[in-house]
Amino acid sequence: MWWFYRKGPSGFAGASTAEEVTAGTDGRGLVAVITGASSGIGRETARVLALRGVRVVMAVRDVSAGIRAKEAIQAEIPGGAEVDVLQLDLSSMASVRRFADEFGSLNLPLNILINNAGVVTRHCTRSCDGLELHFATNHIGHFLLTNLLLENMKSASRNSGIQGRIVNVSSAGHIMTYPEGICFDKLHDPSGFNSFIAYGQSKLANILHSNELSRILKEEGVNISANTVHPGVIATSLFKNRTIVNALMNTVGGIISRSVEQGAATTCYVAMHPQVQGITGGYFGNCNIAKPSSQGVDAELAKELWKFSLQIVSS
């Protein structure tokens, strides 16, 4: 476990916590949207950003759980915290559009967007839009959400002079996928379904989404970064539907996994730390620049995914 405590160029390590990597940062006047913020690393990310003065909008599927998390965060932070809760089901494009409309009605600028929520399922399940559930929730929902909120972020960065930051929470850079990366013709084919490959495709899509978005924003000269983070192995409720994986996590999780406080560190670091200013299209792990797989830096695959995703959300 020596590597877990070894600090990288940033001065932080895998053992660093979200509070440690944001110490001294001032988020007053900033607004962040965090998906999946009612539990796990999403909740910890919301708590720490609120602790640093950021106004946090928690985008959650279960509003009652979101309200409980909001109340707990506000009770913990001296002087309270500015936290809003809005309903969002990323597996439904209609829900994503309703969320964007409701956020717009708050008349808030948006400085930070953290696409954190994710789902893992055992069986081949379809979303209400007919998409494979991992791909629908983990990628398409966030792709659409980002596109719908992007004009707000562009306006906020122009008016404030502060760089907007988009953070996609993915998984390890070496993910179990098909040899070609994302096999588009199999996304609607339930035959031979493998949940690990389906999950891996959706997480690879998160990385490619960040990379292509970063390229487009740089081409437009927009002061918004788009980066991907790998939070590490964390014993959260994400794998509750995977019996074997859940049992493994319960057995060895204390040895190989990190705490939620540590798991949220890289997300908070990329979302707030001055060291990340100006960095875009990056892949971060343990609060340092890391290297994804060759598929994760495939520019042509990223462009193909972007085009494919636009067709889906426009249909």
Active site residues per annotation: 199
C-alpha closest to that of 233 among 291, 285, 297, 166: 285
195-228: buried (b, 16+ CB within 10 Å) or exposed (e) per residue?
A: bebbbbbbbbbbbbbbbbbbbebeeeebbbbbbb
Q: How far apart are CA 309 and CA 141, in angstroms?
A: 10
Token duo for residue 292 = 């994804």
Q: Is the separation of the CB atoms in 132 and 187 below 8 Å?
A: yes
Can you spell out the DSSP letters for 169-203?
A: E---SS---BTTBS-GGGTT--TT--HHHHHHHHH
For residue 252, how many other CB atoms are within 10 A of its CB?
A: 12
